[in-house]
Amino acid sequence: MISTSQVAHQVMWNRLISVVEEQAQALVRTAFSTSVREAGDLSAGVYNDAGQMLAQAVTGTPGHVNAMADAVGHFIRRIGRDNIQPGDVYITNDPWEGTGHLHDITVVTPSFHHDRMIGFFACTAHIVDIGGRGFGADANSVYEEGLYIPIMKFADRGIVDRTLMQIIRGNVREPDQLAGDIYALATCNEIGHRRLIDMMTEFKLADLTGISDFILTNSRKATLERINALPPGSADGHMQIDGYSNPIDLRVRVTIAQDRVISDWAGTSGLDKKGINVPLVYTKAYACYALKCAIAPDIPNNAASLAPFEISAPENTIINAVHPAPVALRHVIGHMVPDTIYAALDQLLPNTVPAEGAGCLCNFQVSLRPRTDGPAPIDARRAEVLTFNSGGAGARPTLDGMNATAFPSGVMTMPVEATEQVGPVIIWRKELRPDSGGAGQFRGGLGQYMVVGAREGHEFDIQAMFDRVDHPARGRRGGHPGAPTTIAQDDNTKMKGKGKQFVPHGRRVEMAFPGGAGYGDPADRDPAHIMRDLALGYITPEFAATYYGLSQAKIADILHRAKLGEVF
């Protein structure tokens, strides 16, 4: 029988999730960077006084929130409990004690009620520029990648550290934007605090001890029940991806055991010379996310529901990079962690996990400036424009993959209008890429075509952050691979998948983002689904004939009916 106190605690748990979601939405509304406002590259959470995460916002990315789950403990240790005061706000972008690279700012705020510290609010946002070489893979150490902010006080008893802000503003290319984002991070924590105090007043709580114990105890119990209901065993997963100059091998052994699931990454490639290395905190974030999605997807994320998923990797492998390894593009490798785990988990839990998808986000950053090969117009200017885009997700055991959808990051594709208003950049083309989803009983999600250039009088550098150029997503259970990434200038000058590259005045960059892979034998695909794909333009007549065996007469009939407006 459920007691009255259990019902009250469940209501409070739901309220906490609402509180942190309002915290995240406040950040979305007040942030200066389009990566936060439009793409949702952020996280928000509430923690007990021991630094254990109790609830996370629905809005956000697992790379931030699952990594941030460990961060508050570092803040407590570095600041010192005796030095934590009402009105304080703490800040860092430490890759190893934050969320994996210098381009993420994490802000932590202690929460006090009746002069007693009851917990913490924390949030993270990706910022467009942090100085150094800029957001890209070209650095040889973390020292080149930008300004490092150790864990420290942004505000001491309500007084902002103006010296810190002067140092930050003096070392970045977009000082107003970055300063605005930092204040937005601090403000969203304050909003979370206010809503928490409202809840505590309503329920007459002096502290969070009772609700914390309820959340953590029930989350751990529910997660262990899911794990212990699975057949025990071990299996190996392997994925080879592009890397920077040489391919990277990711290897994992997944073991389902009593009360835990272990992911051991021994055998994975060593450190890369360039900035695609991954701190272990970020590897843990995406490994835990992958396992939770497959095993306990409906149990809310918190310290207890994440704890049974144990992640280990040898130091100085590419997924356990230690200081001072360059880590700016840690997401390119880190986003491939779930598909590697799923290669193993598919052997242990058949018909559970999806086929491989695009994996990493299809990001690029454009550094624009007045042209240097001739006279520039008087209104030409410098600007940094970062845009987040997605390839296709892998097909699932019973459903097609999602088009232009970022899995595992969950970061949203940015609208053209939002990108173009930030600087003198023009997105000439942005549309789904037909035939890019791998054929199968269930089709892989489509990637995108995208063409980018600059307004008249500008040239630019483009920081490419792509993968799947030479190693497209692999199908599962007979499904076909997705289409690979391509990138070139509009005069057919081939470009690299990663790194800063110059684009002269008048030239455009043409990109095709990768598709997700198919699941199951294409011969088993429902004919109605093939007809729908053809009618919608997801596949071409040639693709339908080659991979699904449709006759020319059948194809012509489908296209004719689609032209007449028939719904498939």
| Domain locations in the chain as residue ranges | 4-219, 354-520, 526-568
Look-up of token digits 């007691």: 3
* Cβ neighbours of residue 32 closer than 8 Å, sequence gap 6 or more: 176, 177, 178, 180, 181, 184
Instruction: Give the per-residue pLDDT at 374.
Output: 93
**CA atoms within 13 Å, Cβ hemisphere of 188:** 32
Mind listing the pLDDT tens digit for each residue in 142-192? 999 999 999 999 999 999 999 999 999 999 999 999 999 999 999 999 999
The single-letter code of the amino acid at 386 is: L
378-384, Cβ contacts within 8 angstroms, sequence gap of 24 or more: 379/457, 380/424, 380/457, 380/458, 381/423, 381/424, 382/173, 383/422, 383/423, 383/424, 383/425, 384/128, 384/129, 384/134, 384/173, 384/174, 384/423
Mind listing the pLDDT tens digit for each residue in 296-310? 999 999 999 999 999
Mind listing the pLDDT tens digit for each residue in 473-482? 999 999 999 9
pLDDT at residue 16 tops 70: yes
Instruction: Give the per-residue pLDDT at 555.
Output: 83
Cβ-contact 366, 501 below 8 angstroms = no
Q: Are strands 458-465 and 363-370 parallel, antiparallel or unpaired?
A: antiparallel
Sheet holding 486-489, edge to edge: 425-432, 448-454, 509-512, 486-489
Instruction: Give the per-residue pLDDT at 562.
Output: 79
Instruction: Give the per-residue pLDDT at 488.
Output: 98
Most confidently predicted of 32-41, 250-259, 553-562: 250-259
pLDDT at residue 3 tops 70: no
Look-up of token digits 């969070």: 208
pLDDT at residue 127 tops 70: yes
pLDDT at residue 1 tops 60: no
Buried b (16+ CB within 10 A) or exposed e, 364-383: bbbbbbbbeeeebeeebeeb
Measure the CA–CA gap between 10 and 24, rounded to whole angstroms: 21
Cβ-contact 301, 53 below 8 angstroms = yes
Instruction: Give the per-residue pLDDT at 102.
Output: 98
Measure the CA–CA gap between 4 and 75, rounded to whole angstroms: 36
- DSSP E strands, 49-115: 53-56, 89-92, 104-113
Nearest to 89 by CA among 238, 193, 205: 193
**Section 534-540 average pLDDT:** 95
Look-up of token digits 């198919």: 518
Instruction: Give the per-residue pLDDT at 2.
Output: 59
pLDDT band at 69 (very low <50, low <70, confident <90, very high): confident
Question: Would residue 274 be called left, alpha or beta, if left means φ above 0 and alpha means ψ between -120 and 50 degrees?
Answer: beta
Measure the CA–CA gap between 421 and 209, rounded to whole angstroms: 47
pLDDT averaged over every residue in the chain: 95
The single-letter code of the amino acid at 276 is: I
pLDDT over 90, % of the chain = 90
**CA atoms within 13 Å, Cβ hemisphere of 352:** 20
Between the alpha carbon of residue 389 and those of residues 34, 104, 205, 414, the distances in Å are 13, 18, 44, 6
**Section 71-99 average pLDDT:** 97
Measure the CA–CA gap between 180 and 25, rounded to whole angstroms: 16
What are the DSSP calls for 322-334, one per residue?
A: -TTS--TTHHHHH
Measure the CA–CA gap between 152 and 167, rounded to whole angstroms: 14
Measure the CA–CA gap between 443 and 31, rounded to whole angstroms: 37
Mind listing the pLDDT tens digit for each residue in 29-47? 999 988 898 888 999 999 9
pLDDT at residue 322 tops 60: yes
According to the 3-state scheme, what is the secondary structure of 32-65?
Answer: CCHHHHCCCCEEEEEEECCCCEEEECCCCCHHHH
Of 2-16, 343-357, 397-411, the range with the lowest mean pLDDT is 2-16
Look-up of token digits 């073991």: 255
**Section 254-262 average pLDDT:** 98
Measure the CA–CA gap between 364 and 506, rounded to whole angstroms: 19
Mind listing the pLDDT tens digit for each residue in 358-367? 999 999 999 9
Measure the CA–CA gap between 518 and 513, rounded to whole angstroms: 16
How many CB atoms neighbour CB 161 within 10 A? 16
